[in-house]
Homo-oligomer: A and B are copies of this chain.
Amino acid sequence: MSYARQLLDSYQGTVNVDVALLAAAIDTMNDCAQACTADNDADLGEQDVTEMVRCIRLCTDCADVCTAAARVISRPAGYDAEVARPLLQACVAICKSCGDECERHAHMPHCRICAEACRRCEQACRDLLDAMK
């Protein structure tokens, strides 16, 4: 069980959303941030870097948005839909764009792996947004 899930399960207050969905969002955000950070660096090592510029840019933004969103939704006590909802929407948008671009380079293993992490994170954020309605 992930640390995110263990800590949510030990939480003494009320979490206003399904804990499994919340933990899945946090875990896939952290995974996605890690995959994008490493993929960014791998892209820079490709022979044709010019071809990878858009992918590098999207990975950089995606890692930043996922890291911040994971931190904010890991603090359920101060939960505020006015903050959490747009952060999740930004996550969905950047994971979609980054996943699409990485999929275009899916013949490169690092981009194939990163695309998978982006897809999972996008889906987990959509599921959490649906549950927050």
Contact = CB atoms under 8 A, between A and B. Distances in A.
Interface of A: 2-4, 6-8, 10-13, 26, 30-31, 34-35, 37-42, 44-45, 49-50, 53-54, 56-58, 60-61, 63-65, 67-72, 74-78, 80, 82-83, 86-87, 89-90, 93-94, 97, 109-110, 113-114, 117
A86 B83 contact: no
Complex A-B, nearest 4 residue pairs according to Cβ-Cβ distance, in ascending order: A68-B68, A86-B86, A10-B109, A7-B38
- The secondary-structure label for the interface of chain A is helix
Contact of A45 (B13, B45, B49, B65): B13
Given A53-B49, A78-B57, A78-B61, A11 B68 contact: no
